[in-house]
């Protein structure tokens, strides 16, 4: 069976590697012409497989190359580009795609993020037959997993959905070769579709309940990083007995502060939402409805992540300051 892989990153590389181990015939690889496509490109070239790197798959050259390769099957292994329907239909057996959710729930580019942000306790992956819609094709197979109460998007993907996805693609290829691959039509009435998880949705509102805030932070960890803004007071902190600060310049005022490695502690705390209640090596504690959010690492703009004490010393954050608008 002649196979084409369209993909990028380590996931695309590992899919190719796994298919090699199974003795599959991969006749061509398509990947972006930048660092996203480098791992897949390097492995393919080492294996004497034709590599095609186009900025967009809608480039007419992509269709020409597909037709030239005469594939039986195409595999979309971590694809962020829109693949034209004409290309999807070239392989004689069709095109399959990996998606990290239990379709039809969480269609879209940020499925893992939204499963955590919305408080799902279970998710999984889907291998489906790609069509002209966005994650709408018939389901070939699915795998279900639990989401740990403290699991981040990064942990869920790299520890579970990444390796499970490689195995699922290999399993799907085997089913197709045997002529036993299902095509289960998705129930569109159960579909959800969320936008990309970026700064338009990653802003923290400390007025919300603790669980919602915590889910947002871990759902945005590592990317894009749930954020708030820092507007320090020029007045002394009554909890630390500090003198008046002469200037707030260069203290991070008005900049986005992103949270990582968060925890939460439920309790009755009589502080204003967003108020800093402790700055310790183990975490920056922030009051919210129902307890405190504890941020293990913080980052301002495009800087490096740092611990709470270092952040406090660098940007002048004090106990009693409030974060947020």
Domain boundary pick from 155, 190, 225:
190
- Of 190, 225, 256, the position where a domain reaches its end is 190
Predicted local confidence at residue 246, as pLDDT = 34
Closest CA to 169 of 8, 9, 11: 11
Do 66 and 135 fall into the same domain?
yes
Same domain, residue pair 220 and 308? yes
Residue 86 lies in a domain: yes
Q: Give percent of the chain above pLDDT 70.
A: 93
Around Cβ 90, how many Cβ atoms within 10 Å?
19
Specify if 125 maps to a domain: yes
What pLDDT shows up at residue 103? 98
Q: Distance of alpha carbon 285 from its chain centroid, rounded?
A: 26
Structure pTM?
0.92
Q: Are residues 36 and 182 in the same domain?
A: yes
pLDDT (mean) for 3-11: 98
Q: Give the per-residue pLDDT at 241.
A: 41
Residues 6+ apart with CB under 8 A from 188: 104, 136
Cα(137)–Cα(179) distance, integer angstroms: 18
> Domain check: are 72 and 148 in the same one?
yes
- Please tell me the total number of residues recorded for the chain in this structure: 325
DSSP 3-state of 208? coil
Per-residue DSSP letter, 81: S
Task: Assess if residue 195 is contained within a domain.
Answer: no
Cα dihedral sign, 214-218-219-221: positive
pLDDT at 249 (0 to 100): 41
Domain end point (choices 162, 190, 218): 190
Per-residue confidence band for 174, with pLDDT thresholds at 50, 70 and 90: very high
**In a shared domain, residues 242 and 137:** no
Beta bridge partners of 288: 291
Q: Does residue 158 sit within a domain?
A: yes
**Least confident segment among 24-38, 214-228, 237-251, 268-282:** 237-251
Per-residue pLDDT averaged across 177-193, rounded? 98
> Is 148 a domain residue?
yes
The lowest-confidence range among 170-179, 213-222, 268-277 is 268-277
Same domain, 180 and 278: no
Q: What per-residue confidence (pLDDT) applies to 319?
A: 94
| Average pLDDT of the residues of the chain | 93
Are 172 and 259 found together in one domain?
no
24 and 167 in a single domain? The answer is yes
Model confidence band, residue 248 (pLDDT cutoffs 50, 70, 90): very low
Same domain, 15 and 161: yes
Task: Name the pLDDT band for 270 (thresholds 50, 70, 90).
Answer: confident
Residue 117 has pLDDT above 90, yes or no: yes
> What confidence tier does 269 reach under pLDDT thresholds 50, 70, 90?
confident
- The predicted pLDDT at position 234 comes to 56
Q: Containing domain of residue 258, as a range?
A: 210-315
Residue 301 maps to which CATH number?
A: 3.10.25.10
Q: Are residues 261 and 178 in the same domain?
A: no
Angle between helices 9-21 and 38-46 (to 10 degrees): 30
> Is the domain of 220 the same as that of 165?
no
Compute the C-alpha angle 219/277/295, nearest 5°.
25
**Residue 233 above 60 pLDDT?**
no
Calculate mean pLDDT across residues 305-310. 97
Q: What is the number of structural domains in the chain?
A: 2
Say if 201 falls within a structural domain. no
Same domain, 61 and 152: yes
Q: CATH number for the domain including 162? A: 3.40.50.170
Indicate whether 113 belongs to any domain.
yes
Within-domain flag for 44: yes
Pairing of strands 256-266, 122-129: unpaired
Question: Is-contact 217 299, C-beta < 8 A?
Answer: no
């Amino acid at each position: 069976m002649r196979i084409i892989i369209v993909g990028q990153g380590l996931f695309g590389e590992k899919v190719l590697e796994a298919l090699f181990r199974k003795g599959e015939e991969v006749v061509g690889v398509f990947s972006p012409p930048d660092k996203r496509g480098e791992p897949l490109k390097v492995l393919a070239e080492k294996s004497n497989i034709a590599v095609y790197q186009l900025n967009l798959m809608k480039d007419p050259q992509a269709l020409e190359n597909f037709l030239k390769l005469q594939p039986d099957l195409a595999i979309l292994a971590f694809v962020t580009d829109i693949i034209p329907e004409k290309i999807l239909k070239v392989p004689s057996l069709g095109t399959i795609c990996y998606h990290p959710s239990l379709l039809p729930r969480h269609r879209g580019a940020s499925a893992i993020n939204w499963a955590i942000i919305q408080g799902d306790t279970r998710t999984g992956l889907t291998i489906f037959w790609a069509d002209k819609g966005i994650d709408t094709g018939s389901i070939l197979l699915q795998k279900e997993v639990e989401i740990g109460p403290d699991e981040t998007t990064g942990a869920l993907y790299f520890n579970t959905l990444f390796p499970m996805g490689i195995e699922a693609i290999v399993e799907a290829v085997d089913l197709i070769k045997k002529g036993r691959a299902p095509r289960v039509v998705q129930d569109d009435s159960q579909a959800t579709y969320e936008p990309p998880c970026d700064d338009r949705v990653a802003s923290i509102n400390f007025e919300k309940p603790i669980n919602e805030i915590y889910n947002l932070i871990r759902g945005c960890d590592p990317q894009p990083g749930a954020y708030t803004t820092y507007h320090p007071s020029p007045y002394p902190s009554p909890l630390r007995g500090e003198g008046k600060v002469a200037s707030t310049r260069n203290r991070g005022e008005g900049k986005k502060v992103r949270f990582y490695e968060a925890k939460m502690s439920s309790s009755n705390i009589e502080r204003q939402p967003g108020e800093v209640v402790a700055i310790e090596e183990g975490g920056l504690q922030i009051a919210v409805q129902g307890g405190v959010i504890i941020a293990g690492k913080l980052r301002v703009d495009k800087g490096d992540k740092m611990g709470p004490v270092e952040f406090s010393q660098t940007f002048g954050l004090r106990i009693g300051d409030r974060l947020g608008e």
